[in-house]
Structure 1
Amino acid sequence: MVNGLCAFPLTPLNQRGIDEAAFIRLIERLVAAEVDSICVLGSTGNYAYLSRAERARVIQLAMQHAGHIPAMAGISALTTKDVLDLAQDAQQAGAGAVLLAPMSYQKLTADEVFGLYETVAHALSVPLCVYDNPGTTHFEFSDELHGRIAQLPNVASIKIPPVPTDPEAAKARVDRLRALIPSHVSLGISGDVCAATGIEAGCETWYSVIGGLFPHTALSITRAAQAGDSQTAAKLSAQLESLWALFRQYGSLRVVATAAEILALAESPCLPAPLQPLTGQARQQLARVLEPLSLR
């Protein structure tokens, strides 16, 4: 897996389905910024709302326009059979890695989750990133379960939830997990507000929401944190507090989708119904936040 900034672009939609022109523009922005890698069909990519055919098309478009930037694709689904079908589609399209969350309707047990990853890992010919996202899956991995899954073939990275804001507590959390997984399995931080802290605590990758829309801004934070310049990384992240506050209030997907609309990078509305972008005062607030930040 590629370390550094992994950008998660939006999959913009319109009345006809996938807004291919807008999606291509977003991918081209990431390539021009020289992000370290791209992941399509993560939560920001609306994977759960798309059909198999639509998801295959998204991967095809990404691979056609990602150029030299490594690209990973989400393959999460409710059933193991569907996950295997999506994995096949991703590999045939040329994705360099896949991202898998334990998506469910009925709450899964630890043994069921391990069985999912065991089956999929043995069927893959590309690296697998474990997507630990309890906010959407409502499944909480134990460190011990991560340790078991990390021993499986092709497992190459774990995308962990936000770490504590305190640097010492963040390092202790990362160290606990690191002690249970093989050295070749990387750790990646999600939760943009704590990305700098996560990298400084030992995470090799930032799996980033804002990186998918504002790659240069995310790269500045990433590079400072990678260089051990914690003061600069923290300062750059703190400058985005007004944006982080909106993430906490409305959710990162709705905020970045609305930002894409405000900046004319996607048509409005660009989310799959019944999801809706921000409207009214919330939308105006986001526009006021974006203007002075000069995000790019």
Structure 2
Amino acid sequence: MTNFLKGLSAFPITPADAAGQVDTSALKRLLTPLVAARVDSIGLLGSTGSYPFLSRGERRRATDAALEQANGQVPVLVGIGALRTDEAIALAQDAKAAGAAAGLLAPVSYTPLTDAEVFEHFSAVAAASDLPICIYDNFGTTHFRFSANLIGRIAHIPGVVSVKSAAPAADLVAGHLAQLRAVVPPGFSVGFSGDWHATEALIAGGDAWYGVAAGLFPNACLAIVRAVQAGDVAEARRLDNAMQPLWALFKEFSSLRVMYAAAAIKGVEAVPPRPILPLPDVVQARIRTVLRELALG
């Protein structure tokens, strides 16, 4: 397993104007502390990065800016999901040409997809791009539910190297992880998203945390990951428990909306892509209070 498929992958927002033009200067400002903290990887143009709202050209501009800012110090994983297979192939080829370490491929759809269609989609993108592919399992945004069997089949496609799966509750994560380990090849990276369940997923043996909060607060999230890696489960849980007020905001308002508000509080102004609206002032005040109390502001 390559190193960038372990540990903490930080997922920042992608600052852009109302017309969908990426603010590369603001993006670089967001990436600077991630590189300085030495997160294990950066997850560019993930769901938090609003990839479906951006054109191919803007996604390439964001990718080029991120690779320039990372400057080889931190691997960059790039979202390559698109409705059409040929578009996903083009995005994967763009990411490969820019120097991305891997592509995050979600089965984006309007018409609900079948397992056979998703398998062929991954096969085509992997074959045509020569880019390592991470299975991007995010039912909350794609509304496609991966079975363990389908993940196992896709994991054996040459070039598919990892899966990012939504972490279940603490009492279910060990079973979920065992299910996946049973069907993927040896050394295949099994990582988890869903910040409020991620610590227990790591403790259970998950390889990576694909973290939304890490896109703005890398040091707080890295402390949790490094505690788990050091075998200090009690410390990891203590640190995770301290973050519960932020996790509660994520669950109530969505991590995407909260992160846009938090970025503005930290001095990076960006508007969510319409039709998503900024959170009301009263909610932003709550976010500001939580960040101050957690010393994250």
Normalising by structure 2, report the TM-score: 0.96
- In 2, the alpha carbon distance for the partners of 1:227 and 1:123 equals 39
Shifted more, 239-248 versus 119-128: the winner is 119-128
Q: Residue 86 of structure 2 is aligned with which of 78, 81, 85?
A: 81
Pair 1:143 & 2:144 matched: no
- In 2, the alpha carbon distance for the partners of 1:295 and 1:34 equals 18
- Matched with 2:169 is 164
Q: Residue 242 of structure 1 is aligned with which of 233, 241, 245?
A: 245
- The within-5 A match list for 1:83-232 is 83-166=88-171, 169-232=172-235
- In 1, the alpha carbon distance for the partners of 2:131 and 2:249 equals 36
- In 1, the alpha carbon distance for the partners of 2:174 and 2:229 equals 15
- In 1, the alpha carbon distance for the partners of 2:24 and 2:17 equals 9
Pair 1:22 & 2:26 matched: yes
Deviation at 1:295, TM superposition (A): 2.1
SS in 2 for 1:13: coil
Runs of 4+ with deviation above 6 angstroms = none
- In 1, the alpha carbon distance for the partners of 2:99 and 2:122 equals 21
Task: Please say if residues 167 and 173 of structure 2, whose CA atoms lie closer than 8 Å, have aligned partners that are also in contact.
Answer: no
Deviations 1:176-209 (A, max 9, x none): 1101110121001100011111111111111110
Deviations 1:196-254 (A, max 9, x none): 11111111111110111110011001111122211111111111111111101110000
Deviation at 1:15, TM superposition (A): 4.6
Q: Residue 252 of structure 1 is aligned with which of 252, 255, 271?
A: 255
Shifted more, 9-18 versus 227-236: the winner is 9-18
Deviations 1:272-291 (A, max 9, x none): 12212212211111111111
- Matched with 1:52 is 56
Letter in 1 for 2:278: P
Pair 1:290 & 2:295 matched: no
- In 2, the alpha carbon distance for the partners of 1:59 and 1:230 equals 36
- In 2, the alpha carbon distance for the partners of 1:126 and 1:138 equals 25
Deviation at 1:270, TM superposition (A): 2.1
Alpha-carbon RMSD = 1.2
- In 1, the alpha carbon distance for the partners of 2:131 and 2:125 equals 11
Letter in 2 for 1:181: V
Shifted more, 140-149 versus 228-237: the winner is 228-237
Q: Equivalent pairs: percent with the same residue? A: 46
> How many residues are paired up?
292
- In 2, the alpha carbon distance for the partners of 1:165 and 1:132 equals 19
Letter in 1 for 2:152: G
Letter in 2 for 1:288: T
- Matched with 1:278 is 279
Deviations 1:5-38 (A, max 9, x none): 1111110123562122110011111111111111
Deviation at 1:136, TM superposition (A): 0.3
The answer for unaligned runs of 5 or more in structure 1 is: none
Task: Please say if residues 83 and 110 of structure 2, whose CA atoms lie closer than 8 Å, have aligned partners that are also in contact.
Answer: yes
Letter in 1 for 2:76: A
Task: Please say if residues 124 and 154 of structure 1, whose CA atoms lie closer than 8 Å, have aligned partners that are also in contact.
Answer: no
